[in-house]
Chain A
Amino acid sequence: MIPISLIQSTAEVLMDKAAIEIPQDYLDGLQQAAKTEDGDLSSFVLKAMLENYEAAKEDRRAMCGDTGVPRWFVKMGNEARVEGGMVALEAALRRATASATNGVPLRPNRVHPLWRTDHDNNVGIGAPEIEYGFEPEGEWIDLITVHKGGLFGTDYRMLFPSDGIQGIKRFYLDSLMAFGKRGLACQPAIIGIGLGGSKDICMTLGKRASTLRIVGSRNSDPRIAEMEDEFKELGNSIGMGAMGFVGKNMVIDCNIEVGYCHTGGMPMSVHAFCLSSRRAAARIHADGRVEHRTDPDWFTDYQRRETVEWEPQREAAE
């Protein structure tokens, strides 16, 4: 049984880490980009961003003034049990979100869409989002927080089988061109592409591809992994860099996730996880151990399973 107080205290630490500490994989990716960048303005921007990450950590202040919209991904091993059940867990995550908003401080970004009323704590109707995943074994619970920023860099379109790979490329480029100009997407970004699923899940897949997979990871399907490499290169060949200035670094990495869709369609979504790619994760074990990490490790073989029953032995042998 995992104590609810441990869930709340861990969640508060995660809120703080996500807002302040740039994940190492993104930092490595940006440092690599800064080495290759030869556009003078783009280079200046990347240098300033690298200094900014240092300043945030030194001062323990948020790396960006727009601290995004805090949300939670919760994953549980099949045997995990939470004190007070899942209603208690949701309350703990809402409390942690509110208290960290005042504590770090974060910008209270969440308002009612029509009345624009603000509770000044990032909590409200449907906020923070809490989404769940499960794994076949284990007594642990993973808490993952993502503070995704940005109103730009995201789009959805219903494509069709006849649009093919060239249609997918075109919509990908359209998204980068539309939101890359003037740097509205706050690139270089981790671009996530969702392909398939039903409409809402297509958005979810793309969002998770950008926020729950790290720079350098590759899809377990080798042909999709090849597309990821190709799309990264394609995005970086536009000639657009940070802030939409001339440059060669728009895409720090491109992650693609797929889901089975209606036979007649090929829905596609594109998401950009910005220069402040804020995420933090921790595994809480039943014995009270807490292990912090920055890789959400969301897309396991189980999450991508194709068969009716989960038969890991046979899938591994194939």
Chain B
Amino acid sequence: MTIREVRLSTTPSDESIADLRLGDIVYLDGLMYTAREGVYMRALDDKANIPMELPSQSAANFHCSPAARINPDGSFDMGAVTATASFRFAKWLPEWMAKTGAKLIVGKGGMSSRDYKEYFVPNGAVYLSTVGYGTGALLGRGVENVEAVHWNEELGLAQAMWVIKCNGMGPFIVASDLNGDCLFERENAKIAENVARVYEGTKPAVLKRYGESDDRTDEVI
């Protein structure tokens, strides 16, 4: 299989999103903002006003805390940028998407196909995963400028809302499409065929744990 590489705007047209296929490699142009649990809680639970025009300025939400600093003169230095695991944010994403019109959720490891079908597809959105994980230096090179940082005093540098200008920033990999299909689940299914062989001969631990039984009236011995 040859891997297809695509340039994509962070305010993408519906057609350009519909054209994306699972496993495509994407490089982004335009403004992208970081938002993870701190931003979600502040914007959705505490109802603070989001300090950007969304989605007109950006429809790309990056699950990321950069390795960055704010200089005494107020300028920024951003070294490496890498995503954090997205599955933890499923709680806030449906409301966030509805509120901000985000079309590209960029993070680590993707979501489940149920998430994609329930609220990505209806919003015309797809998931882009970082590669590696940890191509932080390559992604850092794709940051043309740090435009702003919001809520750093309230949330700290790691949870703040960083606004970055991307110039061919990547690589990212398309992990969901407008059918709601999930790249990782496709790969899991292929690997599953081999699992029984790998486990052959091993045996369950003599002391069980809750989780292996969900009935809390059970004993674990």
Task: Using CB atoms and an 8 Å cutoff, list the residues of chain A in contact with chain B.
Answer: 19, 40-41, 44-45, 48-49, 51-53, 55-56, 59, 61-67, 102, 104-109, 111, 116-118, 120, 149, 151-152, 157-160, 162-163, 166-167, 169-171, 173, 177, 181-184, 186, 234, 237-240, 242-246, 274-276
Contacts and interface: CB of A to CB of B under 8 A. Distances in A.
Given A105-B69, A166-B202, A65 B187 contact: no
A49 B134 contact: yes
Contact of B141 (A55, A152, A245): A55
A167 B204 CA distance: 7
Contacts of B194: 238-239
A111 B82 contact: no
A233 to B, nearest CB: 11
A183 B201 CA distance: 26
Interface in B42-88: 64-69, 77, 79-85
A104 B79 contact: yes
Contacts of B159: 116, 118
Contacts of A163: 203, 205-206
A1 to B, nearest CB: 35
Candidate in B187, B204, B206 with the most chain A CB atoms within 10 angstroms: B187
Interface residues of B, number: 58
Interface in B128-143: 129, 131-141
22 contacts: A41-B23, A41-B187, A44-B131, A48-B132, A49-B131, A52-B132, A52-B138, A55-B141, A61-B140, A63-B136, A64-B137, A65-B66, A65-B67, A65-B134, A65-B140, A106-B67, A160-B205, A167-B203, A169-B202, A184-B109, A237-B198, A243-B133
B134 A158 contact: no
Contact of A182 (B38, B140, B184, B202): B184
Nearest to B198: A238
Interface SS majority for chain A: mixed
A244 B137 contact: no
A40 B3 contact: yes
B198 A66 contact: no
B199 interface: yes
A117 B136 CA distance: 25
B202 A170 contact: yes
Contacts of A109: 65, 158
B179 to A, nearest CB: 19
A173 B198 contact: yes
B30 interface: no
Nearest to B3: A44
B110 interface: yes
Contacts of B191: 238-240, 244, 246
Given A61-B140, A152-B85, A238-B198, A186 B206 contact: no
B138 A51 contact: yes
B201 to A, nearest CB: 6
A36 to B, nearest CB: 17
B207 A158 contact: yes
Contacts of B109: 182-184
B141 A102 contact: no
B17 interface: no
Nearest to B87: A182
